[in-house]
Amino acid sequence: MTVTARETDMHSGTGDTGPFREEHRMLRDQVRRFVEEEIKPYADAWEEDGMVPRDVLRKMGDLGFFGIRYPEEYGGSNMDTLATVVLAEELGKSTYSGVAITALVHTDMASVHVFNGGSDEQRAAFMPGIISGVYITAVGVTEPDAGSDVKGIRTTARREGNDFILNGSKMFITNGVHANLYCIAAKTGDSDKPSRNVTMFLVPKGTAGFSVARTLDKHGWRSSDTAELVFEDCRVPAANVLGEEGHGFYSIMKNFQNERLVIGAMAVGESQAALDLTIDYVRTRKAFGQALWDKQAIRQRLSMLAARVEAARQLVYATAERDAAGHDVIREVSMVKALCGELVNDVMYDCLQFHGGTGYMRGSAIERMARDARVQAIGGGATEVMLEEIAKRL
């Protein structure tokens, strides 16, 4: 699809401010058009079904959304971190965060383990299908007793000849029900340094001993399929190790920076969409003889939220630009994740408040968005964990 860039109004939070080039603006317009034409008219049904149809994901693959950071040799566009931010922010603005996270886990949280850790043979075998949407990926790190503490995982992988035997379980795995390619973290050693005991494995769906134990019923992100995974003497060829044995912890930590930046950008998009919806609502909703917008307290509160969202947006953009330039951005990314995860919840609280009873009803966009936002301060690194990462670098 060929899209030409257009001028837009920065006051509506379009994201056209910042360090973007023509290719980024074209991508933004293309994603925005897809959201309007292919997501918004149908996503209520996906919320009920608990998943995004795979033909929709294939369309996203056909448009190049799944390969924007990957090399052309595999079918990608070889773009930069700013392009990732564009995709995440615009999908966040869809108001259907379950759809957004389905795509973003695939593009920026799971498939990256195949590209970053995979051998030439693994990349050649899987990356074209990942980029086209033939393969949809999930990453299995979190367990019932190990979330942000990756060193605490208990799933094991025991070497047996040319295979590894996996035993254990994974919890809260996004895309876990309907993915067909999984990147799984397991302990392969008992070193005194736990960081040297974790290895990443590529496990296709259908591998004997691997099963989806149950589909999880979530508070929000209803159109995102989430699962508990179980491995019972699951035999995986040693050729399916991603990267070096014992180096999985470092791969996970490295990609956390990308994951957290993406979640922050998505939260900015969600926040802007909620503000836009609410400003439109309070301009027309009347109480005590005048529009709610005419109430000074309401318009000033929304104005402050708009200022905070713009500040968060610029932090996301600046961090993405530094990352694209090759700088260490752990401090900035931790700030993005902590700030945006809390901000999006503050925005949703006030926006639902100003919608009144309408905002509390199932079926209203703001009610759905408020539920979806809650996990933003939890998933990908809880706010408290992020604040500790920042504190180490102050």
What domains are there in the chain, each with its CATH number?
10-135 (1.10.540.10), 138-246 (2.40.110.10), 250-392 (1.20.140.10)
Segments in the chain below pLDDT 70: 1-18, 147-148
Q: For residues 63 and 219, what is the distance between their CA atoms, to the nearest angstrom? A: 31
pLDDT the model gives residue 195: 82
259 belongs to the catalytic site: yes
C-alpha distances in angstroms, 24 versus 27, 115, 338?
Answer: 5, 22, 26
pLDDT the model gives residue 286: 87
Burial letters for 145-173: b for 16+ Cβ neighbours within 10 Å, e otherwise? Answer: ebbbebeebebbbeeeeebbbbbbbbbbb
Q: Which residues contact 153 (CB under 8 A, 6 or more apart)?
A: 141, 143, 146, 168, 185, 186, 187, 198
pTM: 0.92
Over residues 93-119, the pLDDT tens digits come to 999 999 999 999 999 999 999 999 999
pLDDT the model gives residue 386: 97
Over residues 42-79, the pLDDT tens digits come to 999 999 999 999 999 999 999 999 999 999 999 999 99
Mean pLDDT of the chain: 93
pLDDT the model gives residue 318: 97
pLDDT the model gives residue 147: 67
Which of the following is catalytic: 259, 321, 332, 389? Answer: 259
pLDDT the model gives residue 149: 73
